Amino acid sequence: MPIEYKKKVVVMKDVVSVEDAEQLLEWLQGKSAIRVDMAACTHVHPANLQVLMAAGIKVSEWPADPDLGSWIASALTSAK
């Protein structure tokens, strides 16, 4: 699964596709102070990003891929 749901962290790996957005949105409902770990993420469909942006999720680990990182940086803020 590209998204692993831990207690307070959403871990994104490899390619997160459009279908994952629904589950992500569901899972985030009613939760607070969640972080996202994108260290191993190579691409994420913007539907997921919309969810993260709307929920104000902060990034605990930036993607190893600097290009993706730069894109994400325009959308999400760092937790640190």
Question: Which positions lie near another protein, rule CB under 8 A?
Answer: 18, 21-22, 24-25, 28-29, 43-51, 53-55, 67-68, 70-71, 73-75
Specify the residue, 4 or 19, whose C-beta has the smaller distance to another protein.
19
User: At closest approach, how far in Å is the CB of 66 from another protein?
Assistant: 11
Largest CA distance in the chain: 32
Specify the residue, 38 or 51, whose C-beta has the smaller distance to another protein.
51
Q: Is 46 helix (H, G, I), strand (E, B) or coil?
A: helix
Specify the residue, 1 or 66, whose C-beta has the smaller distance to another protein.
66
CB neighbourhood size of 28 (10 A): 17
User: At closest approach, how far in Å is the CB of 76 from another protein?
Assistant: 10
Listed in sequence order, the residues at least 6 apart from 44 whose beta carbon sits closer than 8 Å to its beta carbon are 12, 15, 16, 38, 68, 72
